[in-house]
Amino acid sequence: MKPPNLARSQGRASSALVLTGVLLTTLLTACQTDSDTQALGTLERDRIRLTATANEVVREIHVKEGDRVALGDALMQLDDRTQQAQLDQAKAEFANAKAYLLQLKNGARQEELASYRARVVSAEAQLLQRQKDHVRAVALVAKKMLGQADLDRALADRDAAQAALEDAREQLLLLEHGTRFEEIQQAEAQWRAAESQVVVMEKQLSDLAVIATRDGVIDSLPWNLGERVSVGTALVVLLADDAPFVRVYIPETKRASVAVGDVVSVSVDGVEGAFEGVFKRIQSDPAFTPYYALTEEDRSRLMYLAEVQLSREAADLPSGLPAQVFLP
């Protein structure tokens, strides 16, 4: 038979163990319940990266970090002298192509026709003279008063005059008949190509002036005045001036119970009350892959990235605050 004091001590120990077990079970159940009904995350906003389109030097910076800007506001200016020169060259080539096309469509002027007719008359006179010289040379050679070389020279001069006359007549015919349709089409194609090049150069020139593509707040200005930037590097980083969204991870056990468009309640650390949120995106792929290689226990730890858009009431909240999304 055990002493009374020992029996009482053992009874207290047993009661304490039971109470501890109950408390641990309660705490674990509460933690599990919280993890199943809440998704933790942070407030985020769309980040807009305005990148460089050319390797140029930063000439002007019109804003500073933290400034609120509106769509169309000038933010930064890159050196545009090279691009301006290329645009001027493209405009000159366009003007030349346009003038050439107009010339082909209008055809020859009367003054040009008169000039080419005069060339034909002159060529005919030259040919007549060379023919007479050739006949005279033949007669003198027959009388042995000229050598064969003189006759050959007279014959060559006559043939050259004949060719010159034919060329003058062909040039006159080209002017009288006008430009062929195919030549006009080719000139029009060159004109359109030159016009397109001007548009491209104007766009490239305008891109050197960095402007805000939407309302927002300047988050980052990585470059200083006078630095040369490379194509594709971020010149200005904007945070969209909209209500923030919460980026959270949905547990695998709750994935089937939520869908894009579902309305949920969201609480933000340090802010009283709750905000209304709507699931705007839920990633289809889990955070750990391949999912088919995981056991049932492992699958329960899979997470799906999601974004919950808050209402306009949360527009003034800063990005980065911790938030909790209450899952259905």
What domains lie within the chain, and their CATH numbers? 48-79+208-240 (2.40.50.100), 85-203 (1.20.120), 243-326 (2.40.30.170)
Contact between 63 and 221 (Cβ < 8 Å): yes
Beta-bridge partner residues of 251: 303
What is the Cα–Cα distance from 69 to 50, expressed in whole angstroms?
14
Closest among 51, 48, 47, 67 to 210, alpha carbons compared:
51
Q: Which of 1-15, 50-64, 113-127, 224-238 has the lowest mean pLDDT?
A: 1-15
Q: Say whether 247 sits in a helix, a strand or coil.
A: strand
Verdict on whether the full-model pTM lies above 0.75: no
Counting every residue written for the chain, the total comes to 328
Average per-residue pLDDT for the chain = 84
Half-sphere exposure of 64 (CA within 13 A, CB side): 0
What is the Cα–Cα distance from 23 to 12, expressed in whole angstroms?
16
When pLDDT is cut at 50, 70 and 90, the band that residue 13 belongs to is: very low
pLDDT at residue 16, as a whole number:
45
What is the Cα–Cα distance from 52 to 72, expressed in whole angstroms?
17
The fraction of the chain above a pLDDT of 70, given in percent, is 82
pLDDT at residue 180, as a whole number:
74
pLDDT at residue 36, as a whole number:
64
CA angle 252, 254, 256 (to 5 degrees): 90
When pLDDT is cut at 50, 70 and 90, the band that residue 294 belongs to is: very low
Q: What are phi and psi of 264, to 5 degrees?
A: -135, 165
Q: Say whether 305 sits in a helix, a strand or coil.
A: strand
pLDDT at residue 288, as a whole number:
61
Say which residues have a Cβ less than 8 Å from residue 162's Cβ, sequence separation at least 6.
127, 130
When pLDDT is cut at 50, 70 and 90, the band that residue 56 belongs to is: very high
Region 172-196 average pLDDT: 83
Give Cα separations from 80 to 60, 206, 210, 234 (angstroms): 11, 9, 12, 18
Looking only at the bridges linking them, the beta strands covering 38-44 and 322-326 are: antiparallel
Beta-bridge partner residues of 268: 323
What is the Cα–Cα distance from 232 to 51, expressed in whole angstroms?
5
Q: Say whether 280 sits in a helix, a strand or coil.
A: strand
Distance, C-alpha 46 to centroid of its chain: 19
Contact between 124 and 155 (Cβ < 8 Å): no
Q: Which of 80-84, 108-112, 233-237, 298-302 has the lowest mean pLDDT?
A: 298-302
Strand positions, DSSP E, 54-140: 58-61, 68-69, 74-78
Q: Which residue did the predictor score with more confidence, 170 or 179?
A: 170
Half-sphere exposure of 20 (CA within 13 A, CB side): 6
Could you write out the DSSP letters of every residue in 154-171? HHHHHHHHHHHHHHHHHH
When pLDDT is cut at 50, 70 and 90, the band that residue 43 belongs to is: very high
Q: Say whether 57 sits in a helix, a strand or coil.
A: strand
